[in-house]
Amino acid sequence: MRNSRRSFLLTASAAAVGLGAGRPRPCSAASPPVDLNGGHRRTNPIAVSTYSFWRFNDATRLDMLNCIDQVAEMGFDAVELLLIQMKSEANAYLQRIKRHALVNGLALCGMSTHQSFLSPDRATRRKNVDLTIHQIELAYKLGIPTIRINTGRWGTSGNFDALMANRGIESPLPGYTDDDAFKWVIDSITECLPTAEKCGVVLGLENHWGLGRTAQGVLRIVDQIDSPWLRVTMDTGNFLENPYPQLEMLAPKAVLVQAKTYYGGGKWYTLDLDYQRIAAILKKVGYRGYISLEFEGKEDYHTAIPKSLAMLRTALSG
């Protein structure tokens, strides 16, 4: 009986295949054509940095869990953490952050860290290498795939207000040159790369003052080290002169893009950035990664951050 039933099913299947051979299956109302959009995403995923809620203003310093709640409510795809904004580096707290992002449907796409390799003192550079290795390991515990790193700066301006008043330009320490500094930075970052590879955390060197004030400075470091574990965190708001040609230089090596907005006017400066033009730059090089909003204006973040998200979605979808 079983053999007869098997023979019947095989014969019926063969007949069905034969009847359908060479003829396309007609579409029906129950199975309409699927628009796959050519296999391409419509837009980049958009994140927001927790810095956007704080901006180093102690009166508005929010806990990461509170930030994550608001990020989800506003409709972002992911969140980028500012490490010094965390109230703790204890593993239990890190895992609470990771879980809270998960249940809110948010990816933890990046973490901004601070360090400075720009020092003639070997012990100072060693301290910052060790700090960065520790930060890589924190990102690994959080499941974060990339961290923002800096070159550091000479510090001859005194404070940050003076640095901004001079458009980010600083003189080297007496007796040293920028060429000395590039060697210190390159050697220091190179020491961090084995840990980055072991943890699967890409270092993103930001165009962020110091030797990273220009695209040429960033690329001098990244190109000389030439490692897949060192790429670029491209900040749209840190080129005060000729931003678009410099963004074009960095875009092919970007692992994360930080997008500045300045609703209400910036604290140190305001840039009128053309995000449709920036979106075209990113599209040209096939950048498919996260765009992370860094709101840096004086307007209340409750209104400015949602406006920034809407603007970025429109620009990126164009």
* pLDDT attached to residue 55: 76
Q: Are residues 52 and 91 in the same domain?
A: yes
Last residue of a domain, one of 206, 230, 254: 230
Using pLDDT thresholds of 50, 70 and 90, give the confidence band for residue 158: confident
Q: Are residues 197 and 224 in the same domain?
A: yes
From residue 3, alpha-carbon distances to 6, 292, 301 in Å are 5, 63, 73
Last residue of a domain, one of 230, 249, 277: 230
Alpha-carbon distance 146 to 79, whole Å?
12
Q: Is 49 in contact with 292 (CB distance < 8 Å)?
A: yes
Across 64-88, average pLDDT: 96
Residue type, 57: N
pLDDT tens-digit map of 163-189:
988 888 999 999 999 999 999 999 999
Residue type, 264: G
Secondary element (H or E) of residue 47: strand 46-49
Alpha-carbon distance 311 to 259, whole Å?
11
> Closest by alpha carbon to 210, among 229, 238, 191?
238
Q: Are residues 244 and 169 in the same domain?
A: no
Please check the confidence at residue 72 and state whether its pLDDT lies above 90.
yes
Residue type, 94: L
pLDDT tens-digit map of 17-31:
343 434 443 433 444
Q: In DSSP terms, which residues pair with 150 in a beta bridge?
A: none
- When divided into structural domains, the chain yields a total of 2
> Closest by alpha carbon to 84, among 66, 64, 107?
64
Q: Are residues 102 and 240 in the same domain?
A: yes
pLDDT tens-digit map of 239-287:
999 999 999 999 999 999 999 999 999 989 999 999 999 999 999 999 9
Using pLDDT thresholds of 50, 70 and 90, give the confidence band for residue 15: very low
Using pLDDT thresholds of 50, 70 and 90, give the confidence band for residue 56: confident
From residue 178, alpha-carbon distances to 150, 188, 212 in Å are 15, 15, 11
* Position with higher pLDDT, 84 vs 57: 84
pTM, whole model, 2 decimals? 0.86
Domain assignment of residue 147, given as a range = 113-230
Using pLDDT thresholds of 50, 70 and 90, give the confidence band for residue 318: confident
Please check the confidence at residue 157 and state whether its pLDDT lies above 80.
yes
Last residue of a domain, one of 198, 215, 230: 230
What contacts 82, CB < 8 A, 6 or more positions away?
Answer: 49, 50, 51, 54, 111, 112
* pLDDT attached to residue 41: 57
Burial class (CB in 10 A: 0-12, 13-18, 19+), 48: buried
Q: Is 312 in contact with 282 (CB distance < 8 Å)?
A: no
